[in-house]
């Protein structure tokens, strides 16, 4: 079965809602499992729980079949998302354009070529969908 991963902010921003809506559509169209991911940053506090994330998403979109909700702790959002992509063996990652910009900045610090799509494909062999 296909696996779709969507990282979101908590509480859900308008941008996260658009990204999540696209991920839900992709998962339905491909009859895929959907993983909704939020990363609690160690240095920010305001830790969300899996239960809070699930309630908020279901309140906004209704019950989503084949969905699982994951909250991970991390120092860097990008690194934690990459770890989750690998752990879930995601086939598709749906991210917002703002997240793409953040990834580009992080990767620019690591490598000369800030081409995030190629970087992700080299690291995790998955399809990347960017939502504007």
Q: What pLDDT shows up at residue 130?
A: 87
Q: What pLDDT shows up at residue 111?
A: 58
Q: What pLDDT shows up at residue 2?
A: 97
pLDDT, average across residues 53-59: 98
**Tens digit of pLDDT for each residue in 100-131?**
666 666 666 655 555 555 666 677 778 888 89
Query: Would you state the CATH architecture of domain 3-131?
Result: 3-Layer(aba) Sandwich (3.40)
> Counting every residue, how long is the chain?
132
Gyration radius of the chain over CA positions = 14
Domain extents for the chain? 3-131
Q: What pLDDT shows up at residue 79?
A: 82
Predicted TM-score of the model (pTM): 0.86
- How far from chain centre, in Å, is Cα 102? 13
**Tens digit of pLDDT for each residue in 67-83?**
999 999 998 888 888 89
Establish how many alpha carbons lie within 13 A of residue 5's alpha carbon, considering only the half-sphere containing its beta carbon: 24
Cβ–Cβ < 8 Å for 3, 91: yes
DSSP-derived 3-state class of residue 8: coil
**Tens digit of pLDDT for each residue in 10-38?**
999 999 999 999 999 999 999 999 999 99
Q: What pLDDT shows up at residue 20?
A: 98
């Amino acid at each position: 079965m296909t696996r779709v991963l969507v990282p979101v902010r908590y509480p859900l921003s308008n941008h996260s809602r658009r990204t999540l809506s696209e991920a839900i559509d992709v998962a339905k169209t491909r009859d895929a499992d959907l993983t909704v991911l939020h990363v609690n940053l160690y240095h920010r506090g305001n830790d969300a729980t899996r239960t809070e994330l699930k309630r908020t998403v279901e309140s906004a979109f209704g019950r989503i079949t084949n969905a699982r909700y994951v909250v991970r702790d991390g120092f860097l959002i990008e690194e934690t998302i990459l770890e989750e992509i690998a752990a879930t063996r995601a086939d598709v990652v749906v991210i917002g354009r703002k997240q793409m910009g953040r990834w580009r900045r992080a990767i620019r610090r690591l490598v000369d070529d800030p081409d995030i799509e190629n970087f992700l494909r080299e690291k995790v062999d998955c399809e990347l969908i960017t939502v504007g």
